[in-house]
Amino acid sequence: MEWRDDGIVVGVRRHGETSVILDLLTRHHGRHLGLVHGGRSRRLRPCLQAGNAVDALWRSRIEEQLGTFSIEARTLRAARMMESGLALNALNHLCTLARLLPEREPHQPLHDRLSGILDAIDDRFDTPAAIVRFELELLSDLGFGLDLGSCAATGSREDLVFVSPKSGRAVCREAGEPYRAQMLPLPAFLLGQDGATSADDIAAGFRLAEHFLLRDIFLPRGLALTAARSSYVKALTADEPVPGRAVRDPGVS
């Protein structure tokens, strides 16, 4: 059996002397692994860098097998990302998140959102908010979505400014104010509200996503949030230029 699909490289592991096991987030077939013969060759290695978009042909005698990939490059983003520590840290974190998805389950909106982020990954204005949305969408796809549509206490859809750290539901100002110290701030950009997104809103968005990523995904698996994520968030608020060094992603060899 075989299929062809668009894919984003999210991980590569060596296999034998010349081959690799490629981890792709594909558009219609979800996260999918496959063997690439000669994947460490001079011809294929530039294609198989994290963040690159590829055209993938997967073949296997039976569906349950690992199968093999034949790969053609579509968009080679990796070289540009290597020039920016900000971009590399974002890339490494996003690839780690993508590898948490179960294999062979379609997640087309996540694939498309990730593709858009990678096309503008070194942008300091719109991309951070897009990464927060990606994190929350991944939580939802894994069964831990937040409910930001109405207040958990009153049912109101107006003036939603907090999120309950326990239920993951929005809370309006009036109901949440007495418990402000225990609440998580809800930034306006996550509600689709118009207007410029401030640095404080971005920071609040990352804190919100971090709380639920840790509680529902990372800690139950005995994992820690990536150092790359911390470096990326810290760099967003740094006054000095972002250095060219970045945290190495252990899932990419």
115-151 tens-digit pLDDT: 999 999 988 889 999 999 999 999 999 999 999 999 9
Residue 36 in this model has a pLDDT that exceeds 90: yes
Residue 162 pLDDT exceeds 90: yes
Q: Where are the alpha helices (DSSP H) in 3-52?
A: none
**pLDDT higher than 50, residue 221:** yes
Lowest mean pLDDT among 56-65, 98-107, 136-145, 185-194: 185-194
pLDDT at position 12 is 97
Tokens read off for 192: 């689709």
> Hey, which residues does 56 pair with through a beta bridge?
5, 71
Residues 6+ apart with CB under 8 A from 23: 9, 10, 11, 12, 13, 31, 32, 33, 99, 251
Q: pTM of whole model > 0.75?
A: yes
DSSP 8-state class, residue 82:
T
Spatial separation of the C-alpha atoms in residues 122 and 117, rounded to whole Å: 9
What pLDDT sits at residue 80?
A: 87
DSSP string covering 220-250: GGT----HHHHHHHHHHT-SSPPPS-----T
Give the residue among 179, 53, 169 at the shortest CA–CA distance from 121: 53
Residue 136's identity, in one-letter code, is L
Nearest residue to 218 via CA among 207, 227, 230, 226: 226
Q: Is the pLDDT of residue 253 over 80?
A: no
Helix, coil or strand: residue 64: coil
Q: Is the pLDDT of residue 243 over 80?
A: no
pLDDT digits (tens, 9 = 90+) for 17-35: 999 999 999 999 999 999 9
The CA-based angle 223-227-230, given to 5 degrees, is 115
Q: Which long-range contacts (CB under 8 A, 24 or more apart) does 140-147 make?
A: 141/101, 141/107, 141/110, 142/100, 142/101, 142/216, 142/217, 144/168, 144/212, 144/216, 144/217, 146/170, 146/212
The beta-strand segments (E) located in 145-224 are 160-163, 170-172, 184-185
**Among residues of the chain, what percentage have pLDDT more than 90?**
84
